[in-house]
Structure 1
Amino acid sequence: MNLPLNDSDYVNRLLARSRCGDPQREADARLELEQWVAVSDDNRRCYEAQRQTVIALDASLDSLRQRYPRHLAPASAAQAPAVRNPRRGWAWPTWSSALVLLLGVGLTLWWVNPVLSQGEYVTGLGEHREVSLSDGSRVQLNTNTHLDFVRRLRSREVQLVQGEALFEVTHQANIPFEVTSLDTRVRVLGTVFNVRQWQEGNQVTVLEGRVQVTPDHEADALQITRGQQLRTRHGLFVDGIRDVDATQAVSWRDGRLVFSGETLAEAVAELQRYRSGRIRIHDSKLGALRISGSFSLAKPDELLHLLPELFALNLVINPDQSVDIRAR
């Protein structure tokens, strides 16, 4: 048998067959599911996602059965009319009523969009963490990051409370994935992108695919693709769409800080995210100097110690690990 790859429709068909009431067909379906799930982690995540959807539907149907036991219970043998098809176990009036109710359940679930699962993920100062969400998507959290994830029947929602995260989103047709960060929303179906809270705003960078970015105070959303970046602040776009080196924008996932002509003030602000002691630049002209290079996040102060060799400045590291940078 040629086992198919990650296919939610295929899983749904097997799940339905595993509950059809025919012991042999149910056993065959369960065996086929087990074989398919064993092929890859992606298959396992797809199966778990569809199984959670079935569980949510079952819970809603059980609630309706309690409210409408006559309409949603199988007809007894004495009540059932004579039919030619022996597989029919429901009287037609009961079945038609149940069908109407089931359709209503589906419409209600689609409208209400119930929660299927949720999670909270946090990293400390200097910590990196990779997590798998319940829909199969993967997230890498940068230093000092906090995000919440809610998976619903017809949507997937992330709240980036603070920090920065790289998202590798599992494609699910008609179930969009949306990240909300401060006053900006980023909406996708399946892609790889990075969201960082930046200077009272957000920075969105796409590594693969396409995303739609919607600040609260803009009339229109903008779409960006691979190698492009958007910045927002106070609900408005800043500077428009920029072409960037996307791998540099997420160099933190490889344990590096990479700069290509950023100002010293920008470099220090980035470094500040990885150390507790405050860094203060006491001269605006120093802050405007440009810096390039690659530095290890395992040694965040390496950059600081190099500054007096690169520029005409003095650097003092105080006992509380705060740093003062002044012109010579």
Structure 2
Amino acid sequence: MAGRKTDEGVGTRSTRSADEALDWFMRLQDDHASETLLSFEAWERTSPENARAYADLLRMTSMPSLYRATVADRARLVRSVQPTSARRKFSGWKAGLTVATTLMAGIVWVELPSILVDWRADYISAVGQRHTVTLPDGSKVELNTSSAIAIDFAGGKRRVSLLKGDAFFDVTHDPAHPFVVAGRFADVEVKGTAFGVATTGPADTVVLERGHVEVRSTATAHGTADLQPDQMVTATERGLSEVTPTDPYQSLAWRDGRVVFHDRPFDRALADLKRYYDGQVFVATGRFANTLVSGNYRTDDPDAAIRTLATSAGAQITRLPGGILILR
């Protein structure tokens, strides 16, 4: 019992230190007075938990995704330079331009991979939205949140490249012109069928609802798989997995506006829900990463879904302005 009490005490101190570290971080953004800095240093020296909590927070705030979440504040930073004379006006203008230029350079660097995908794409779905596209041959493609495709129908070809995200294909029957979907690690060839392809995570996932498809590895010299309805296969840089049974209700639940998982590690489940959230989510600790969770969550309220998932894993939630959620 004594050991248990000690553990609880440490947990309480750690939680309090994390809360205080966040308070100090927010305060130091606007208050650079020497007395404030001295008070902060005194707090940091009070206990190892305080110093560790603030160091963890600094590591988290260096993440590119947190930078993206805060660049929306750049207009306020530029407007904060208020000219009071001709000389200060010129100085303020230069300072504002420097801030804006620096921020824009950072934005381009961080967002470059996404920008390149958008340039290549013919159709894109926004975060939290689903979008249905009718292709030139009459086939239909349903795009999940934050997904993109490029199409090539020139010269009788029927080829779609899934650049990111998830897509469900309902293909018009045309035996003379095979329909090919290209992922990162595999091509899926069909003549008339309905199936889903996902490029999220470290693998491409192909789920067949009806019909018949052939999946060919493009990352290795050999490797093909024939899928029957209610089967799936994954493709990585090492080749194809074994064909396994799947429940399309769960695998393709996004088509009904849901995310469904059973005994999935917390970090993977959170990654699924974050795709629907038009904000930023940061995890300040790794202790929940492998906690197994199950759930059936609506994607039209991702904030509530993330909060429910975090609570089920035992995480505490702090909300910051701009839709930023911190889990700890």
Counterparts of 1:312 and 1:220, CA distance in 2: 42
1:148 aligns with 2:159: no
Which structure would you say has the larger Rg?
1
Matches within 5 A, 1:27-42: none
Structure 1 CA distance for aligned equivalents of residues 174 and 259 of structure 2: 33
- Report the 3-state secondary structure (helix = DSSP H, G, I; strand = E; otherwise coil) of the residue aligned with 2:272: helix
Q: Compute the displacement of 1:211 (Å).
A: 1.3
299, 311, 314: which one aligns with 1:312: 314
Separation in 2, partners of 1:308, 1:164: 24
| Match of residue 125 from structure 2 | 123
Structure 2 unaligned runs (5+)?
A: 1-120
Match of 2:236 in 1: 233
Higher strand share: 1
* Correspondence 1:221 to 2:224: yes
1:175 corresponds to which residue? 177
Q: CA deviation at 1:179?
A: 0.6
Q: What corresponds to 1:290 in structure 2?
A: 292
- Alpha-carbon distance between aligned partners in 2 of 1:161 and 1:132, rounded to the nearest angstrom: 18
TM-score (norm 1): 0.59
Residue by residue over 1:169-202, the C-alpha shift from the partner in whole angstroms, topping out at 9 and shown as x without a partner, is 0110121000112232111111101011122431
Query: Using a 3 Å threshold, how does the CA distance of structure 1 residues 236 and 281 change in structure 2: closer, same or farther?
Result: farther
User: Relative to structure 2, which stretch is displaced further, 150-159 or 120-129?
Assistant: 150-159
Compare the two structures and name the one with the higher helix fraction.
Answer: 2
**Residue range with higher mean Cα deviation, 202-211 or 298-307:** 298-307
Counterpart for residue 213 of structure 2:
211
Structure 1 residue 153: deviation in Å? Answer: 4.2
SS in 2 for 1:199: coil
- Match for 1:255 among 254, 257, 278? 257
DSSP 3-state at the match of 1:198: coil
Q: Letter of the aligned partner of 1:221 in structure 2?
A: T
* Aligned residue type for 1:225: Q
Q: 1:222 to 1:295 in 2, by over 3 A?
A: same
C-alpha distance in 2 between matches for 1:194 and 1:323 = 31
Which residue number in structure 2 is paired with residue 37 of structure 1?
none
Any residues of structure 2 matched to 1:71-82 within 5 Å, and which?
A: none
How far has the Cα of 1:309 moved from its partner?
Answer: 4.1
SS of the residue aligned with 1:287? coil
The offset of 1:166, in angstroms, is 0.3
- The residue that corresponds to 1:269 in the other structure is 271
Q: Residue 239 of structure 2 aligns to which amino acid in structure 1?
A: L
Instruction: Tell me the distance in 2 between the aligned counterparts of 1:229 and 1:178.
Output: 17
What is the aligned residue count?
207
The letter of the residue matching 1:261 is D
| Cα deviation code 1:181-240 (max 9, x no counterpart) | 223211111110101112243111111112111222331211112111111222522x42
Q: Percent identity?
A: 27
Give the superposition deviation at 1:305: 2.2
Is the partner of 2:316 in helix, strand or coil? strand
Quote the RMSD (CA, aligned, Å): 1.9
CA distance in 2: counterparts of 1:148 and 1:235, whole angstroms? 25
Mapped contact 1:281–1:287 kept (Cα < 8 A): no
Aligned residue for 2:161?
Answer: 159
Query: Does the 8 A contact of 1:268 with 1:279 survive in 2?
Result: no
Q: Report the CA distance between 1:286 and its aligned residue.
A: 0.9
Instruction: Give the conservation status (yes or no) of the 8 Å contact 2:266–2:313.
Output: no
What secondary structure, in the 3-state scheme, does the structure 1 residue paired with 2:181 have? strand
Deviation at 1:156, TM superposition (A): 0.6
Post-superposition Cα deviations, 1:142-164, rounded to whole Å, max 9, x if no partner, equal 11111122224443100111111
TM-score calculated relative to the size of structure 2: 0.59
Checking the alignment, whether the CA contact within 8 Å between 2:210 and 2:228 is kept in structure 1 is yes
